[in-house]
Chain A
Amino acid sequence: MIVNGSIRAMSLKPVSAASASETPPILRAAGSGKAPRTNPGGAAPTFPFSAIVGQDEMRRALLIAAVDPSVGGVLVFGDRGTGKSTAIRGLAALLPPMSAVVGCPYACDPGRPAEQCHLCREKPVLRAESIPVPVVDLPLGATEDRVVGALDLERALTRGEKAFEPGLLARANRGFLYIDEVNLLEDHLVDLLLDVAASGVNTVEREGLSIRHPARFVLVGSGNPEEGELRPQLLDRFGLAVEVTTPTDLPTRIDVVRRRDAYERDPAAFCAGYAKADRAIRKALTAARARLPGLGVPDATLEAAARLCLALGTDGLRGELTLMRTARALAAYEGAETVGLDHLARIAPSALRHRLRRNPLDESGSTARVARAVEDLLAR
């Protein structure tokens, strides 16, 4: 396949400002084999995850999704300028690397034959390499052919050949797909994403091509509800939903501005100052992933999760499942022996607030309703 490791070479190597200003605009066909590296921060290194002030709920949700990708994505909704995008781009920088088949456009896991693409399954011997976890930006204005993949335009034009050119969903396999302003995404792209996120498989039927490839990714969306509501079907796909607000106390605000200013003046030095803290989070993530499979959920916790969902009247089993999984990931991240009620109580607002049916007679927000139910049911 033409798209090779260069896509996945997402090292967050800083490009110095001087060299960036001299290079001409990078514009090339996606199929040229040199698809651009997704460096979410542009020319400068990304703002370190550990340098974000406050916003504990958002950071916790993102870390949980990194520990256990099966929780089903994170939706971050909130005020302007609260560092939503910053946190997600920062998370990308500290994820521990993963093992992938050399040369596979979908970065298949050599250890899991069941989840591999048709190319890897046909190969007798798979060589593995360690690559950074892909964090793919879905920019607004992206066209369908680039999202799902399409015929390779260059080969079609120059040689009259039919070749599949993988899209953003292929690149996001086993990683994160990040959509800023998710509520402004075109409807037909939303439909597409819903289907792929639910099945974990991207099916392409265009131009006589018939391709299925794995596309399991953590969907991370951010947006501002004032600029448009999210369709309920898409809302439901996100495992966790967090609301972020601008801090209102003066010392926190000063701290935020001060750090941002220091970062803007000298990104490299600023990031170096937080490298240790970022490394600590990365280590904790790796340890949590190792601990996760062995972590059991006691019956008492399961029962409490079921009672909570029943009391809140969430639709279907998805709420319960997410609640259990996220509580377990949280426990794993914190190095707990078992998944306790405390984990459940802390993660319940994020896991459930977007699944509540609107109750016309209860005017308190969904966050307050979850908090009340947690207090009623989990208080000991």
Chain B
Amino acid sequence: MSPAWARALRVARLVATDPQVCGGVVVRAGAGPVRDLWLDRLAGELGPGRPFRRMPAGIADDRLLGGLDLAATLAAGRPVAQSGLLAEADGGCVVVPMAERLSPGTAARLAAALDTGEVRAERDGLAARAPARIGLILLDEGQGDDARVPEALADRLAFRLDLTGIAWGETQGAAAEAEPNPAEPDVDIDIDAAVADLCGVAVALGIASLRAPLLALRVVRLLAKEGALGTADLREAACLVLAPRATRLPPSPEEADAAPPERSEPPAPDDAAPPEAGLEPGAESLVEAARAAIPPDLLARLAQAGPAPSAPKAGRVGAVMQAPRSGRPAGIRPGSPRTGRLALLPTLRAAAPWQRLRAGAGGAPRLIQVRSEDFRITRFRQCSETTTIFAVDASGSAALERLAEAKGAVELLLAEAYVRRDKVALVAFRGSEAEIVLAPTRALARARRGLSALPGGGGTPLAAGLDAAGDLARAVRRSGGTPVVVVLTDGRANVARSGAPGRAAAGAEALNAAGLLRAAAIRTILIDTAARPQEAAWRLAEAMGARYVPLPYADAAAMSTAIRSAR
């Protein structure tokens, strides 16, 4: 049995001890025997007495929260309530498959149940309230740059497990008995010190949420049971709860001047104050323990996460359009059939309880009386298509070495866009002006021709380039699409909008143009094509609200990966 699997089993045991206190687990794994085995073990730990329920994807409110049981109501002639899944799972666990596809609404309902330990529904003429002291098992099947589990929900769960790397063979055999490490003695510790240590570790690992140390503390108490709190419990809680949430590696004494990570992010402006100074010795050893438990691919995943996207979210499938008339059904709402598509069954359901009353009031008996307030219409969601606009710096400084690579990256993305039926557009700026080399198109061959014919050299009219990209993006949005602007530049503007040369004026105008892009809430990515990351480019990215990707040694394939992960 491998240590990772042993840890997974330990988490299962802790969750089963008290699901509500732990909140639950985010389990990152594809569907497969290892995940099934883990779920079996968890169900076994829970025992037959406590519920272990699976929530179907796209569950409706009446099943999740409870509501009117129509069949029973009509049969009994009085309102009969049915309880929802959350209430039925009281005291146990709810398994949520494909949690990365949970809608924000469902996530918020689950979060409310976790927070209050009960479920409240005000639905269908019923006010229902039932205890729902549950733990959630979120099965995250997201791969790479796919959607991720809603942070609001994951934040409330104590544990995060990654079963992807565990082979079936590792799950067999007995667990190796943990030898007590003489270097890490188990000493009793008082609660105040434990709180201080856990908070310190959380800050050292760059965990902003306060729920993390609180959940870790709950786990410490679970581990300690009746006995006194020990440093070993503290270490284990830090490894299980805090380490998987780390957003940065804690500074290590030995690796103080180790090689910098290959893809360094500029420091986030809202970073917590440097915590190391105030760390107590106890917390320091905890940090070390947690560091060992940090997943090895943390940096890769961090690079993927990037900053929070701004206003209109452009995922890889484009923003959700407001109130479309077609697309994927996303629930039912009361409304007039004139403004949407009538949902026949829900309409009849809404009308059913009132039939007796209406038959009495209306006089002549009719088969079924449906009135305007019964009408239910289907809500739809539809995602608009994404148009990626490349604004390429084709000036002399960029052309020297990077233009060929930029062209290569665009070509790779073109192929990918073709598969996804996305559109691409190309804006180039050089000399004294910007031009739209390629209007939004899906024609791969044309795009490739336009790209390879792109000449390089001359000054850098950055402001004009950004303006042109912004105009194009707004046009795309007006026509119902979702624009993403990818700017490839070294940020060294030297030609103003008027065409006049001058580094200072051109720089100021570029920042101004970047601000306009941000104000229009256009999603942007800035790829610094300079051989060394440029401060000018980084400032520009900040002004744009763009994701900044410096590519000191990147080739076309790496650049393409960065863009894909950033979207």
Q: Hey, which bits of chain A sit against chain B, CB under 8 A?
A: 20-21, 23, 25-31, 35-36, 40-43, 79-82, 85, 137-147, 150-154, 156-158, 160-162, 165, 167-168, 180-181, 184, 186-188, 206-208, 224, 226-229, 246-250, 253-254, 256-258, 260-261, 264, 358-361, 363
Contact = CB atoms under 8 A, between A and B. Distances in A.
12 contacts: A25-B90, A80-B151, A137-B120, A141-B123, A153-B68, A153-B79, A157-B79, A157-B356, A184-B104, A246-B209, A253-B203, A261-B191
Given A81-B209, A181-B108, A207-B354, 16 more contacts: A20-B131, A28-B81, A30-B126, A42-B116, A139-B109, A139-B121, A140-B112, A146-B122, A152-B125, A157-B357, A187-B323, A246-B209, A250-B200, A360-B515, A363-B519, A363-B543
B152 A80 contact: yes
A157 B117 CA distance: 32
A253 B213 contact: yes
Contacts of A23: 131
A141 B65 contact: yes
Nearest to A139: B120
Interface in B136-159: 150-152, 155
Contacts of A158: 77-78
Contact of A206 (B77, B90, B121, B373): B373
A148 B439 CA distance: 50
B519 A360 contact: yes
B23 to A, nearest CB: 12
Contact of A188 (B123, B150, B333, B515): B333
A167 B199 CA distance: 44
A26 B128 contact: yes
A154 B78 contact: yes
B210 A186 contact: no
Contact of A142 (B122, B130, B151): B122
Nearest to A229: B311
State the 9 A-B residue pairs at the shortest beta-carbon distance, nearest first.
A25-B130, A360-B519, A146-B122, A153-B125, A30-B127, A142-B122, A27-B81, A81-B211, A29-B79
Contacts of A229: 311
B334 interface: yes
A27 B117 CA distance: 16
Given A254-B195, A257-B210, A358-B519, A29 B66 contact: no
B124 A145 contact: yes
B360 interface: yes
A248 B278 CA distance: 13
A261 B217 contact: yes
A151 B355 CA distance: 13
A139 B130 contact: no
A140 B208 CA distance: 27
A145 B90 CA distance: 27
Contact of B195 (A36, A167, A224, A257): A257
B463 to A, nearest CB: 13
A367 to B, nearest CB: 14
A249 B118 CA distance: 33
A293 B151 CA distance: 46
B211 A363 contact: no
Contacts of A363: 515, 518-519, 543
A36 B516 contact: no
B444 to A, nearest CB: 35
Nearest to A35: B127
B61 A141 contact: yes
B349 interface: no
Contact of A139 (B73, B112, B335, B353): B112
A365 B512 CA distance: 16
A46 to B, nearest CB: 11
Contacts of A188: 333-335
B434 interface: no
A31 B112 CA distance: 25
Nearest to A162: B357
Given A154-B79, A250-B199, A36 B211 contact: no
B198 A257 contact: yes
B333 A257 contact: no
Nearest to B124: A143
B125 A29 contact: yes
Nearest to B273: A248
Interface in B360-380: 360-361, 371, 373
A225 to B, nearest CB: 9
A80 B211 contact: yes
A249 B543 CA distance: 27
Contacts of A42: 116-118, 131
A296 B473 CA distance: 52
B64 interface: yes
B552 interface: no
| Residue of A150, A158, A363 with most chain B CB atoms under a 10 A cut-off | A363
A43 B195 contact: no
A25 B543 contact: no
Contacts of A28: 81, 126-128
| Residue of B90, B109, B311, B373 with most chain A CB atoms under a 10 A cut-off | B373
B184 interface: no
A30 to B, nearest CB: 4
B209 A156 contact: no
B361 A208 contact: yes
Contacts of B79: 29, 31, 153-154, 157
A137 B520 CA distance: 35
Contacts of B130: 25-27
Contacts of B64: 141
A150 B125 contact: yes
B53 interface: no
B121 A254 contact: no
Contacts of B77: 157-158
B175 to A, nearest CB: 31
Nearest to B309: A226
A27 B128 contact: yes
B129 A36 contact: yes
B87 interface: yes
B152 A227 contact: yes
B104 A43 contact: no
A20 B130 CA distance: 10
Interface string B328-357: 000001110000000000000000011011
Contact of A256 (B66, B68, B210, B333): B210
B3 interface: no
A165 B120 contact: no
B123 A143 contact: yes
Contacts of B61: 141
A241 to B, nearest CB: 17
| Residue of A79, A162, A206, A250 with most chain B CB atoms under a 10 A cut-off | A250
A353 B421 CA distance: 41
A227 B104 CA distance: 7
A275 to B, nearest CB: 22
B214 interface: yes
B123 A224 contact: no
B123 A25 contact: no
A43 B196 contact: no
A224 B153 CA distance: 12
A250 B203 contact: yes
Contact of B118 (A43, A156, A168): A43
B199 A257 contact: yes
B544 to A, nearest CB: 10
A140 B195 contact: no
A330 to B, nearest CB: 28
A75 B130 CA distance: 28
Nearest to B73: A157
B115 interface: yes
Given A42-B116, A261-B191, A207 B371 contact: yes
A211 B131 CA distance: 34
B218 interface: yes
Contacts of A186: 333
Contact of B213 (A27, A30, A143, A257): A257
B125 A146 contact: yes
B94 to A, nearest CB: 16
| Residue of B111, B131, B360 with most chain A CB atoms under a 10 A cut-off | B131
